[in-house]
């Protein structure tokens, strides 16, 4: 069930992993996210193999790693460049990741790298969460809240003539202080991350626990309601004022490299 939801989030290979480990009594999981024709994904034991159809490269990663955002382009010298983002979840012990004798063991002395740590209690909570998402309008509620939050934040920032933009889905948005959304690290470097880096701690002091890293998204809970929205926007407005007073005037506008 967890793997089916990973594909709905745009992750490649969730159905491949599930179909490799499913019980005989369970039906096969259909493909939710089409794998690009220039790459292939398969299972090798407990490892997920990702390879280029051009034959130029391939590598194996633990099955719980999440490949996504595959793209390719041709650079000036006509060389084909392929790019893929891979999330390792909560992996800590990189030297042991993927070992079947560890990944199949549950108990003391094992640090799994997968998000739910192969722990029966956390897996039960995860399954219940997925059940709620599947059977209620929680996702729509979160999306609506995110849209309202973006509208409120934008109103505050626009009133101060601070360039800004949002990226990602409203339920897990990213906030950048630039006129256009960054698509790579070069764009991010040219954004005003100094303003974000100064703003986030001020929000923490005021009681709003936003992501301190400007490259990471903001996570929204279904429990957030209208009162939470009002409080968040009020604290955001205060934090913006404090940040503008602390930073030099030029750092309240777009950063240029």
pLDDT value at residue 5: 62
Given this model, what pLDDT does residue 257 score? 37
Q: Does domain 138-252 have CATH number 3.30.1280.10?
A: no
Query: 44 pairs with which residues across the strands?
Result: 47
For the chain, the structural domain boundaries read 2-135, 138-252
Give the pLDDT of residue 97. Answer: 46
Low-confidence ranges of the chain (pLDDT < 50): 90-98, 254-257
Contact 90, 115 (CB under 8 A): yes
């Amino acid at each position: 069930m967890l793997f089916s939801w990973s594909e709905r989030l745009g992750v490649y290979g969730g159905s491949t992993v599930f179909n490799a480990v499913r019980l005989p009594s369970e039906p096969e999981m259909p493909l939710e996210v089409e794998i690009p024709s220039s790459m292939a994904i398969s299972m090798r034991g407990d490892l997920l193999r990702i390879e280029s159809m051009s034959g130029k490269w391939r590598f194996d990663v633990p099955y719980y790693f999440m490949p996504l955002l595959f793209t390719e382009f041709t650079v000036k010298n006509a060389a084909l460049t392929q790019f893929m983002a891979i999330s390792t979840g909560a992996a800590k012990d990189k030297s042991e990741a993927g070992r079947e004798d560890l990944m199949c063991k549950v108990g003391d002395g094992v640090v799994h790298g997968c998000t739910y740590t192969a722990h029966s209690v956390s897996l039960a909570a995860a399954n219940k969460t997925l059940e709620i998402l599947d059977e209620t309008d929680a996702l729509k509620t979160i999306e609506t809240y995110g849209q309202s939050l973006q509208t409120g934040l934008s109103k505050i920032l626009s009133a101060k003539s601070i360039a800004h933009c949002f990226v990602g889905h409203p339920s897990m948005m990213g906030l950048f202080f630039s006129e256009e959304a960054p698509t790579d690290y070069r764009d991010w470097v040219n954004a005003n991350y100094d303003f974000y880096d100064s703003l986030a701690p001020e929000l923490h002091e005021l009681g709003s626990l936003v992501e301190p890293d400007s490259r990471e998204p903001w996570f929204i809970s279904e429990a957030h309601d209208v009162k939470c929205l009002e409080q968040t926007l009020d604290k955001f407005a205060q934090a913006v004022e404090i940040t503008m007073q602390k930073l030099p005037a030029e750092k309240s506008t777009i950063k240029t490299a």
